[in-house]
Structure 1
Amino acid sequence: MAPLPSLLLVFLFSLCNLHLTVAFRICAFNAYHFGESKSKNGQVMKTLVQIVSRCDVCLLQEVRDSKKKALPALLNQLNRGRGADYDYVASERLGRSEAYQEQYVFVYKTSSASVTGTYQYPDNRPGDQDAFAREPFVVRFRAPKTDIKEFVLIPQHTTPTNTTKELDALYDVLQDVKRMWKTENVMLLGDFNADCGYLAKKNRNKVRLITDSNLQWLIPDGSDTTVRESTNCAYDRIVVNGRKLFDSVVPSSAKAFNFQQEFRLSEDEALDVSDHYPVEVLLKSRTFKSAAVRVRSGTFKSFG
């Protein structure tokens, strides 16, 4: 058996590699008016492909693809040289005004996930007929290689001027989805506008999504999910319901992904892509779990 310091180094090195190559990555990205004009910008599309291809499932928001050309173009570039490993599922176009509508889009790797159910949430709850500007498009995924196997994602891009009301109403969506699909393994994610001037501290105790202690907010308030140097706000969030799903999260893996720094872009180049950073979290896989156990027991011998 190797000396203890050597085993410790092997253990730490193994966990780093496992996070990168084995764990299942879920992302949420406000792609800021992603439509035909952006899809024709080569540098923007290159960066988008780099961002999305890091993820096993990636929620895109602010997709404004009225001519249905931008999403196929993105998928074509994602699949170039990779076979047909990427697919997507999209909501209907959502919004109170015909002049401005968006879609929620989940892009996913077919080799690691599949869609087993979708539900376009209706904005017709009793007593409140118009809670959301863009009603959640709920998707259930099967991911056989993960520790959790199956989970539900509820996306939301709140209206900045109505953030408190929409976030609180999202709690009702969560309860409905749990009953409908008989599951506790639910993750809520997206551009919640849950910070700075859009969610005042005095209003937080009015939001059940915040006050329910059974829900875990994985992106802390001190995070900066914005590209502009002049802003520092944790608008984009990931919230986990259910002990089993929370236990399947790789510890400390939830974060904003600074693509500007990672891809060495200027602020203007990054803003051409979006004014938000993606947020992401890793789920443990069966391989991740078994390999970590082998390392801790001193039986893990090699990598690769």
Structure 2
Amino acid sequence: MHCPAVLLLLLPGGAEAFRICAFNAQRLTLSKVAREHVMDTFVRILARCDIMVLQEVVDASGSAMSLLLRELNRFDDSGSYSFLSSPSLGRSTYMEKYVYVYRSHKTQVLDSYVYEDEDDLFAREPFVARFTFPSKVLHSLALVPLHTTPKAVEQELNALYDVFLDVSQHWQNRDMILLGDFNADCASLTKKRLGELVLRTEAGFHWAIDDDEDTTVRASTHCAYDRIVLHGERCQSLLRSAAAFNFPRSFQLTEEEALNISDHYPVEVELNQAAPRVQPLGPALPLLLLLLPPLGLVA
């Protein structure tokens, strides 16, 4: 006998998902986003996410983000977007910003700070932010973005564990997501060295983007550079899915057209806003069926 009404009672589906994304926007400048086809694609990528962490924003004036946000709010009228930007970060004349773009009707920034990198281990130290989260299970969530330099991937990713400890102490909360272009694959980091990272050997960290995922646009490369790592039982219990977003395929772009946007795919996770997933009932199912009133189903 097929009993869809009972299945509906048991499955956790139907709850709205909250999507958190990270995207290396490859030298995002005002002149870049001013090009119509580039702006159009960026807006459609951003509109998929409730919180997006952009990296490689190199527009010192902030004009690029202001223009991008204006067009994003015009494109998607389901609710307003806001952004939070770090100062320009770097060791030389080349500087980058981390920028959070978020749906301000669904989440708000509670606090933020640039990690104090006393030993200068990071080329671009993380700009950490704590957001409200629309769930009874998890009321707030810390995000820790990092864009590593390919020359020091292992050093920076191991130092990211110290950032995790600092954030945990700062906000007395271990539910957080570490995300960004980690350069954690191919020539920048071998599989052996990846497995030896503190974030891989210490318990409690879930690498949501698989090691064999391709987060690069070029057909000639297959590398899982961009990652999302979850920590905290409540945070991990809400995980619904994780993937790279193949925007050239979704938007029917050629490789050349896509490379005008970025040579990276965005990576994203979807979190349930409801309670954690319901575990299968197993032997308890027949008892539940006996307790339910007749449904008038035909065998």
TM-score range, shorter chain: 0.7 to 0.9
Matched, 1:215 2:227: no
- Equivalent AA in structure 1 for residue 161 of structure 2: Y
Report the equivalent of 2:49.
Answer: 55
Aligned residues: 283
Alpha-carbon offset, residue 244 of structure 1:
1.5
Query: What does residue 105 of structure 2 align with?
Result: 111
Structure 1 residue aligned with 2:261, among 241, 266, 273? 273
Cα contact 1:164–1:206 (8 A) shared by 2:
no
* Aligned CA distance change for structure 1 residues 268 and 211 (closer, same or farther; 3 Å): same
Q: State the one-letter code of the partner of 2:91.
A: R
Cα separation, 2, equivalents of 1:68 and 1:226: 27
Task: Measure, in 2, the Cα distance between the counterparts of 1:260 and 1:276.
Answer: 11
Match of 2:223 among 227, 233, 250: 233
CA RMSD of aligned residues (A): 2.6
Residue 217 of structure 2 contacts residue 258 of structure 2 at CA under 8 Å; is this kept in 1?
yes
Unpaired runs of 5+ residues, structure 2, are 279-284, 293-299
Aligned twin of 1:293: none
Question: In structure 2, do the counterparts of structure 1 residues 229 and 136 end up closer, same or farther at CA, with 3 Å as the change threshold?
Answer: same
CA deviation after TM superposition for structure 1 residue 184, in Å: 1.1
Distance in structure 1 (CA, Å) of the matches to 2:47 and 2:150: 29
Match status 1:67 vs 2:61: yes
* TM-score of the aligned structures, taking structure 1 as reference length: 0.86
Matches within 5 A, 1:1-304: 4=2, 6-7=4-5, 15=13, 18=14, 22-80=16-74, 82=77, 85-98=80-93, 100-124=94-118, 129-145=119-135, 147-250=137-240, 253-286=241-274
- Aligned partner of 2:81: which letter? Y
Distance 1:131 1:42 in 2: 38
Q: Say if 1:146 and 1:284, in contact at 8 Å, map to a contact too.
A: no
- Bigger fraction of residues in helix: 1
Larger Rg: 2
TM-score for both structures, normalised by structure 2: 0.87
Letter in 2 for 1:161: K
- Partners of 2:153 and 2:268 in 1: CA distance: 21
The answer to whether the 8 Å contact 1:90/1:106 transfers is yes
Once residues 141 and 78 of structure 2 are traced to their aligned partners in structure 1, the CA distance between those partners, rounded to angstroms, is 26
- Cα distance in 1, alignment partners of residues 250 and 182 from structure 2: 24
- Secondary structure (helix, strand or coil) at the match of 1:122 reads coil
- 3-state SS of 1:220 partner: coil
Q: Which amino acid aligns with 1:240?
A: L
The alpha-carbon deviation at position 144 of structure 1 amounts to 2.5
Deviates more, 1:218-227 or 1:84-93: 84-93
Deviations 1:34-76 (A, max 9, x none): 1111111111111111011110000000001123210000100
Q: What letter corresponds to residue 276 of structure 1 in structure 2?
A: H
Rounded Cα–Cα distance in structure 2 between residues aligned with 1:225 and 1:12:
35
Distance 1:112 1:146, change over 3 A: farther
Asked if structure 2 preserves the Cα contact closer than 8 Å seen for 1:142 and 1:150, the reply is yes
Q: Does the CA contact (< 8 Å) of 1:87 and 1:110 recur in 2?
A: yes
Distance 2:212 2:83 in 1: 32
Cα pair 1:171 1:209 within 8 Å, conserved:
yes
Provide the C-alpha distance between the structure 2 equivalents of 1:86 and 1:59, rounded to a whole number of angstroms: 13
Letter in 1 for 2:83: Y
- The CA deviation string for residues 207-237 of structure 1, in whole angstroms up to 9 with x for no partner, is 2112112111110101000000000000000
Aligned sequence identity (%):
46
Matches of 1:136 and 1:281 in 2, distance apart?
20
List alignment gaps of at least 5 residues for structure 1.
Answer: 291-295, 300-304
Take 2:204 and 2:274, find their aligned partners in 1: how far apart are those partners? 25
